[in-house]
Amino acid sequence: MASAFFCISAIFLLFVLIHEVVLLEGSEDAAFSESYNISWGNGHVQSFFAGREIHLLMDKMSGSGFQSKLDYSSGLFHMDIKVPSRNSAGIVTAFYLKSSQSNGHDELDFEFLGNLEGKPIHLQTNIFVNGHGNREEKIRLWFDPSKNFHSYKILWNRYLTAFLVDEIPIRVFMNKGVAYPSKAMQVMGSLWNGEDWATNGGKDKINWMYAPFTASFRTFSIDGCPAFEGGPQCYSSKYWWNGGGYAGLSPKQILAYRMIRKRHLVYDYCTDRRRYPVPPPECSQTV
């Protein structure tokens, strides 16, 4: 029944977006080494296809991660990802942007929360501004992210921050009178141990019988303004992603976005009255 529901949802989304989703501009697949370095777990990283596909491994000894060589202050950041399969409870696969400050950092997160075999792998997004996060949203994807590669993008410009899955916007954070990411950030990917919280509130732990766990990354596309050009310059309209056409969603994108919210959103901090009796100011934003 669940798979039939996912299929219907996917077909509807395709119908809504076909010929339209103004595919966000971006470069072709690049080799990992052009823009990224391994940041930790060096012995747990494998390279394939002349560096155009990277596998992060995790076992009891270590996970692994990578980061961009440069910091960026706006742009479109794209990664194709396939997450660990089978029993991945407690495993977190992440694709994110993060500034270097130890206090008061900015961060934009895609986090895939592993699960027991046969149960859905949820995708969590989070936004940190000046060190303040706790803005989690969680969706149940309309496909199994461990079966095939899918596209994940973060668009960050002077108007908004948008998280997209296969070109479909799943979350939009508007730059309208609220604290907004403004610090230069590196682009990062990682595979790590989150068993204390990631699955069933930390009750379902990692089953090491299935190790090593593998997360696969490819594309490695960055269309970004390097931070050395200066923050204000990175909001300039000379960069395509700062153009007025990217100030919001198109009507068809809005329709798809609202369908995602209605059918696939399983947690939204804005509606969690136990944590936030008074919703944070950005929760009043509408797309």
- pLDDT one-digit tens code per residue, 215-251: 999 999 999 999 998 878 999 999 999 999 999 999 9
Measure the CA–CA gap between 48 and 184, rounded to whole angstroms: 30
Residue 170, classed as helix, strand or coil, is: strand
Q: pTM here?
A: 0.92
pLDDT of residue 86: 87
Q: Which residues carry out catalysis?
A: 107, 111
Measure the CA–CA gap between 135 and 125, rounded to whole angstroms: 8
Helix runs in the chain, H state only: 2-17, 32-35, 251-263
Residue 108: other Cβ atoms inside 10 A: 25
* Domains parsed from the chain with CATH numbers: 2-284 (2.60.120.200)
Output the six-digit token pair for 6. 């996912």
* 3-state DSSP helix/strand/coil % of the chain, to nearest 5: 20, 35, 40
- pLDDT one-digit tens code per residue, 22-53: 456 655 678 999 999 999 999 999 999 999 99
Output the six-digit token pair for 69. 């060589």
Asked, as a colleague might, if the bond just before 232 is cis with ω within 30 of 0, I would say no
Output the six-digit token pair for 195. 């068993």
